[in-house]
């Protein structure tokens, strides 16, 4: 049976976008293939690894578990929105560098977006809350300690810890 198509309107990293998407297109494929934003990674394609995490209306979501059409009317943020071309890395990206919070970097965009949502939603953020907030993101390289340290550092600098 042919897939239906749907017109959607959304903002992507603050810019308005219109698109026509197949009804069964996953949000992660829309982001990578239609928008060309390849910073959002695909790991497991089944909701387990968190590599595809983006922010929709302020909430971290796994974009392999949503359809593109579900983004209609929403505000989508991807890792490219954290700092634009030619801009300095934002405070969280800088903390990841300072604390050596990445090795291969495959998990990093998803980690950054989960941490971004966590830091933006919290009024206070304990170490346990940081660990819980990142538990949907798998990293096969770092052992997580430096990732948690980086987020803890930003939480302290933002007055959340």
As given in the structure block, the two tokens for residue 72 are 């209609």
Q: Which residue matches tokens 């071309």?
A: 85
Order of strands across the sheet with 59-62?
Answer: 15-22, 5-12, 75-77, 53-56, 59-62
Distances (CA, A) of 142 to 46, 49, 95, 136, 150: 22, 15, 15, 15, 12
Q: With binding defined as CB under 6 A, does residue 49 bind ligand FES?
A: yes
For the bound state, the minimum distance from the C-beta of residue 150 to ligand FES, rounded and expressed in Å, comes to: 12
What is the DSSP secondary structure assignment for residue 31, as one 8-state letter?
A: I
Pick from 5, 7, 44, 156: which binds ligand FES (CB under 6 A)? 44
Q: With binding defined as CB under 6 A, does residue 96 bind ligand FES?
A: no
Q: With binding defined as CB under 6 A, does residue 35 bind ligand FES?
A: no
Pick from 27, 51, 92, 118: which binds ligand FES (CB under 6 A)? 51
Q: With binding defined as CB under 6 A, does residue 106 bind ligand FES?
A: yes
Give 12's strand partners: 15, 76
85 Cβ contact list (under 8 Å, min separation 6): none
Q: Which helix (H) or strand (E) holds 91?
A: helix 91-98
Q: With binding defined as CB under 6 A, does residue 127 bind ligand FES?
A: no
Q: With binding defined as CB under 6 A, does residue 48 bind ligand FES?
A: yes
For the bound state, the minimum distance from the C-beta of residue 148 to ligand FES, rounded and expressed in Å, comes to: 13
Pick from 8, 12, 27, 43: which binds ligand FES (CB under 6 A)? 43
Pick from 107, 115, 151, 155: which binds ligand FES (CB under 6 A)? 107
Interface positions with ligand FES (CB under 6 A): 42-45, 47-52, 62, 64, 102-107, 139-142
């Amino acid at each position: 049976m042919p897939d239906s198509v749907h017109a959607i309107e959304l903002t992507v990293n603050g810019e308005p976008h219109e698109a026509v998407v197949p009804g069964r297109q996953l949000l992660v494929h829309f982001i990578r293939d239609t928008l060309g934003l390849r910073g959002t990674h695909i790991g497991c394609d089944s909701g387990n690894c968190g590599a595809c995490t983006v922010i929709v209306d302020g909430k971290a979501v796994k974009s392999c578990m949503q359809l593109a059409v579900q983004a209609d009317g929403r505000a989508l943020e991807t890792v490219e929105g954290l700092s634009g071309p030619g801009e300095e890395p934002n405070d969280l990206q800088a903390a990841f560098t300072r604390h050596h919070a990445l090795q291969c970097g495959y998990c990093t965009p998803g980690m950054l977006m989960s941490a971004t949502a966590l830091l933006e939603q919290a009024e206070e953020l304990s170490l346990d809350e940081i660990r819980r907030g990142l538990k949907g993101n798998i990293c096969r390289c770092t052992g997580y300690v430096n990732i948690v340290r980086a987020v803890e550092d930003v939480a302290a600098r933002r007055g959340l810890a």
